[in-house]
Amino acid sequence: QKEVEQNSGPLSVPEGAIASLNCTYSDRGSQSFFWYRQYSGKSPELIMSIYSNGDKEDGRFTAQLNKASQYVSLLIRDSQPSDSATYLCAVKNYNTDKLIFGTGTRLQVFP
Amino acid sequence: SAVISQKPSRDICQRGTSLTIQCQVDSQVTMMFWYRQQPGQSLTLIATANQGSEATYESGFVIDKFPISRPNLTFSTLTVSNMSPEDSSIYLCSVGQLYNEQFFGPGTRLTVL
Protein backbone atom coordinates (compact mmCIF):
# COMPACT_ATOMS: atom_id res chain seq x y z
CA GLN A 1 0.00 0.00 0.00
CA LYS A 2 1.36 3.38 -0.97
CA GLU A 3 1.76 5.90 1.82
CA VAL A 4 -0.24 8.61 0.00
CA GLU A 5 -2.68 7.64 -2.71
CA GLN A 6 -4.36 9.76 -5.33
CA ASN A 7 -6.29 8.98 -8.48
CA SER A 8 -3.96 9.90 -11.34
CA GLY A 9 -6.82 11.16 -13.53
CA PRO A 10 -7.18 13.02 -15.71
CA LEU A 11 -10.16 14.57 -14.02
CA SER A 12 -12.03 16.61 -16.60
CA VAL A 13 -14.53 19.26 -15.51
CA PRO A 14 -16.25 22.06 -17.42
CA GLU A 15 -15.43 25.65 -16.69
CA GLY A 16 -17.44 26.95 -13.74
CA ALA A 17 -17.95 23.52 -12.16
CA ILE A 18 -16.59 22.22 -8.86
CA ALA A 19 -13.52 20.00 -9.12
CA SER A 20 -13.11 17.48 -6.31
CA LEU A 21 -9.68 15.97 -5.70
CA ASN A 22 -9.18 13.19 -3.20
CA CYS A 23 -6.28 11.73 -1.27
CA THR A 24 -5.89 8.94 1.28
CA TYR A 25 -2.90 8.27 3.50
CA SER A 26 -1.73 5.28 5.50
CA ASP A 27 0.28 6.79 8.37
CA ARG A 28 -2.08 7.55 11.28
CA GLY A 29 0.69 9.66 12.82
CA SER A 30 0.42 12.18 9.99
CA GLN A 31 -0.30 15.60 11.39
CA SER A 32 0.05 18.11 8.54
CA PHE A 33 -1.58 17.96 5.15
CA PHE A 34 -0.84 19.98 2.05
CA TRP A 35 -2.03 20.50 -1.48
CA TYR A 36 0.42 21.62 -4.13
CA ARG A 37 -0.37 22.67 -7.67
CA GLN A 38 2.16 21.88 -10.39
CA TYR A 39 1.90 23.27 -13.88
CA SER A 40 3.69 21.37 -16.62
CA GLY A 41 7.39 22.18 -16.57
CA LYS A 42 7.15 24.12 -13.30
CA SER A 43 7.90 23.32 -9.67
CA PRO A 44 5.16 22.58 -7.10
CA GLU A 45 3.38 25.58 -5.61
CA LEU A 46 1.74 25.32 -2.18
CA ILE A 47 -1.93 26.25 -2.37
CA MET A 48 -3.46 24.86 0.84
CA SER A 49 -2.40 23.47 4.20
CA ILE A 50 -4.69 21.90 6.79
CA TYR A 51 -3.88 20.58 10.23
CA SER A 52 -7.17 19.78 12.00
CA ASN A 53 -10.35 17.94 11.07
CA GLY A 54 -12.95 19.84 9.13
CA ASP A 55 -12.91 22.35 6.32
CA LYS A 56 -10.53 25.18 5.54
CA GLU A 57 -11.46 27.69 2.87
CA ASP A 58 -9.22 30.06 0.94
CA GLY A 59 -10.84 31.83 -1.97
CA ARG A 60 -12.09 29.25 -4.46
CA PHE A 61 -10.23 26.45 -2.66
CA THR A 62 -11.54 24.35 0.22
CA ALA A 63 -9.46 21.66 1.89
CA GLN A 64 -11.25 18.99 3.90
CA LEU A 65 -9.62 16.67 6.42
CA ASN A 66 -10.97 13.58 8.13
CA LYS A 67 -8.25 11.97 10.23
CA ALA A 68 -10.45 9.08 11.35
CA SER A 69 -10.93 8.05 7.73
CA GLN A 70 -7.36 9.09 6.79
CA TYR A 71 -8.77 11.17 4.01
CA VAL A 72 -8.05 14.66 2.72
CA SER A 73 -9.67 16.41 -0.21
CA LEU A 74 -9.46 19.63 -2.18
CA LEU A 75 -12.48 21.32 -3.73
CA ILE A 76 -12.02 23.96 -6.40
CA ARG A 77 -15.12 26.06 -6.97
CA ASP A 78 -15.85 27.90 -10.20
CA SER A 79 -13.07 25.98 -11.97
CA GLN A 80 -11.16 27.91 -14.62
CA PRO A 81 -9.02 26.66 -17.51
CA SER A 82 -6.06 28.19 -15.66
CA ASP A 83 -6.66 25.62 -12.89
CA SER A 84 -5.61 22.86 -15.31
CA ALA A 85 -2.55 21.35 -13.65
CA THR A 86 -1.43 18.38 -11.59
CA TYR A 87 -2.47 18.58 -7.93
CA LEU A 88 -0.18 16.86 -5.45
CA CYS A 89 -1.32 15.77 -2.01
CA ALA A 90 1.42 15.66 0.63
CA VAL A 91 1.42 14.63 4.28
CA LYS A 92 3.92 15.17 7.05
CA ASN A 93 4.58 13.37 10.32
CA TYR A 94 6.14 15.55 13.01
CA ASN A 95 8.31 12.66 14.16
CA THR A 96 10.19 12.60 10.86
CA ASP A 97 9.36 16.08 9.53
CA LYS A 98 9.40 14.55 6.05
CA LEU A 99 6.89 15.47 3.38
CA ILE A 100 5.50 12.40 1.59
CA PHE A 101 3.85 13.02 -1.77
CA GLY A 102 1.13 11.23 -3.65
CA THR A 103 1.49 10.65 -7.35
CA GLY A 104 -0.78 13.58 -8.19
CA THR A 105 -4.10 14.04 -9.98
CA ARG A 106 -4.14 15.75 -13.35
CA LEU A 107 -7.03 18.20 -13.61
CA GLN A 108 -8.31 19.44 -16.96
CA VAL A 109 -10.82 22.28 -17.03
CA PHE A 110 -12.38 22.72 -20.44
CA PRO A 111 -14.16 25.88 -21.65
CA SER B 1 7.23 32.55 1.86
CA ALA B 2 10.97 32.50 1.20
CA VAL B 3 12.37 33.27 -2.24
CA ILE B 4 14.34 30.28 -3.46
CA SER B 5 16.69 30.23 -6.43
CA GLN B 6 18.49 27.32 -8.05
CA LYS B 7 21.42 27.20 -10.43
CA PRO B 8 21.63 26.00 -13.09
CA SER B 9 18.04 25.96 -14.28
CA ARG B 10 18.87 23.25 -16.79
CA ASP B 11 21.88 21.41 -18.11
CA ILE B 12 22.81 18.69 -20.56
CA CYS B 13 25.70 16.52 -19.40
CA GLN B 14 27.72 13.59 -20.64
CA ARG B 15 27.58 10.30 -18.80
CA GLY B 16 30.34 9.80 -16.26
CA THR B 17 30.56 13.49 -15.36
CA SER B 18 29.26 15.30 -12.27
CA LEU B 19 27.01 18.32 -11.84
CA THR B 20 26.64 20.50 -8.77
CA ILE B 21 23.30 22.23 -8.24
CA GLN B 22 23.08 25.26 -5.98
CA CYS B 23 20.12 26.35 -3.88
CA GLN B 24 20.00 29.83 -2.35
CA VAL B 25 17.29 31.17 -0.03
CA ASP B 26 16.71 34.82 0.78
CA SER B 27 16.19 34.14 4.51
CA GLN B 28 17.49 31.72 7.10
CA VAL B 29 15.60 28.44 7.17
CA THR B 30 15.82 25.49 9.51
CA MET B 31 15.20 22.73 7.00
CA MET B 32 16.45 22.25 3.46
CA PHE B 33 15.58 19.24 1.38
CA TRP B 34 16.51 17.85 -2.02
CA TYR B 35 13.95 16.04 -4.17
CA ARG B 36 14.01 14.32 -7.52
CA GLN B 37 11.12 14.24 -9.95
CA GLN B 38 11.56 11.82 -12.82
CA PRO B 39 9.52 12.32 -16.00
CA GLY B 40 5.83 11.76 -15.34
CA GLN B 41 6.46 10.86 -11.70
CA SER B 42 5.82 12.44 -8.35
CA LEU B 43 8.48 13.83 -6.02
CA THR B 44 10.94 11.58 -4.23
CA LEU B 45 12.95 12.85 -1.29
CA ILE B 46 16.69 12.34 -1.78
CA ALA B 47 17.97 13.77 1.49
CA THR B 48 17.62 16.35 4.20
CA ALA B 49 20.48 18.85 4.19
CA ASN B 50 21.53 19.51 7.78
CA GLN B 51 23.44 22.66 8.60
CA GLY B 52 26.82 21.86 10.07
CA SER B 53 26.52 18.09 9.78
CA GLU B 54 26.15 15.34 7.21
CA ALA B 55 22.98 15.10 5.20
CA THR B 56 20.39 12.45 6.06
CA TYR B 57 19.72 10.26 3.04
CA GLU B 58 16.59 8.34 2.17
CA SER B 59 16.57 4.68 1.28
CA GLY B 60 18.01 4.16 -2.18
CA PHE B 61 20.16 7.29 -2.15
CA VAL B 62 23.80 7.34 -1.04
CA ILE B 63 26.30 10.03 -0.23
CA ASP B 64 28.84 8.88 -2.82
CA LYS B 65 26.30 9.40 -5.58
CA PHE B 66 24.58 12.52 -4.21
CA PRO B 67 26.96 14.44 -1.95
CA ILE B 68 25.28 17.40 -0.27
CA SER B 69 26.68 20.43 1.45
CA ARG B 70 24.93 22.90 3.76
CA PRO B 71 27.48 25.44 4.93
CA ASN B 72 24.92 27.88 6.40
CA LEU B 73 21.19 28.47 6.89
CA THR B 74 20.59 29.98 3.43
CA PHE B 75 22.59 27.80 1.03
CA SER B 76 22.97 24.18 -0.01
CA THR B 77 24.42 22.22 -2.91
CA LEU B 78 23.58 18.82 -4.35
CA THR B 79 26.08 17.05 -6.60
CA VAL B 80 24.98 14.31 -8.95
CA SER B 81 28.11 12.20 -9.43
CA ASN B 82 29.20 9.83 -12.17
CA MET B 83 26.00 10.49 -14.06
CA SER B 84 24.12 8.02 -16.24
CA PRO B 85 21.03 8.59 -18.42
CA GLU B 86 18.91 7.24 -15.52
CA ASP B 87 19.83 10.39 -13.59
CA SER B 88 17.95 12.53 -16.10
CA SER B 89 15.37 14.21 -13.94
CA ILE B 90 14.27 17.45 -12.34
CA TYR B 91 16.07 18.16 -9.09
CA LEU B 92 14.23 20.39 -6.63
CA CYS B 93 15.39 22.19 -3.55
CA SER B 94 12.78 22.69 -0.84
CA VAL B 95 12.88 24.76 2.34
CA GLY B 96 10.83 25.12 5.49
CA GLN B 97 10.86 25.82 9.15
CA LEU B 98 10.62 22.87 11.50
CA TYR B 99 7.15 21.25 11.42
CA ASN B 100 5.79 23.89 9.04
CA GLU B 101 5.03 24.34 5.37
CA GLN B 102 7.61 23.61 2.71
CA PHE B 103 8.26 25.64 -0.40
CA PHE B 104 10.05 24.63 -3.56
CA GLY B 105 12.63 26.26 -5.74
CA PRO B 106 12.19 26.46 -9.51
CA GLY B 107 14.09 23.21 -10.10
CA THR B 108 17.04 22.09 -12.21
CA ARG B 109 16.22 20.08 -15.31
CA LEU B 110 19.07 17.63 -15.95
CA THR B 111 19.53 15.60 -19.12
CA VAL B 112 22.31 13.03 -19.26
CA LEU B 113 23.39 11.76 -22.67
Counting one residue from chain A and one from chain B, the pairs whose CB atoms sit within 8 A come to 43
pLDDT in tens, A92-110: 987 878 899 999 999 999 9
Query: Across-strand partners of B35?
Result: B45, B92
Q: B4-37: string of b/e by CB count within 10 Å (b at 16+)?
A: bebeeeeeebeeeeebebbbebeeebebbbbbbb
Task: Work out the minimum CA distance from B90 to partner chain A, whole angstroms.
Answer: 9
pLDDT score at A1: 62
Q: Touching check for B30 and chain A: CB below 8 Å?
A: no
pLDDT of residue A94: 79
User: Which chain B residue lies closest to A90 (C-alpha atoms)?
Assistant: B43
| Phi, psi of A88, rounded to the nearest 5 degrees | -105, 130
* Inter-chain CB proximity A94 and B42 less than 8 Å: no
pLDDT 10s digits, B61-95: 999 999 999 999 999 999 999 999 999 999 999 99
Over the stretch A59-77, which tens digit does the pLDDT of each residue have?
999 999 999 999 999 999 9
pLDDT of residue B97: 77
Task: Determine contact: A34 vs chain B, CB below 8 A.
Answer: yes
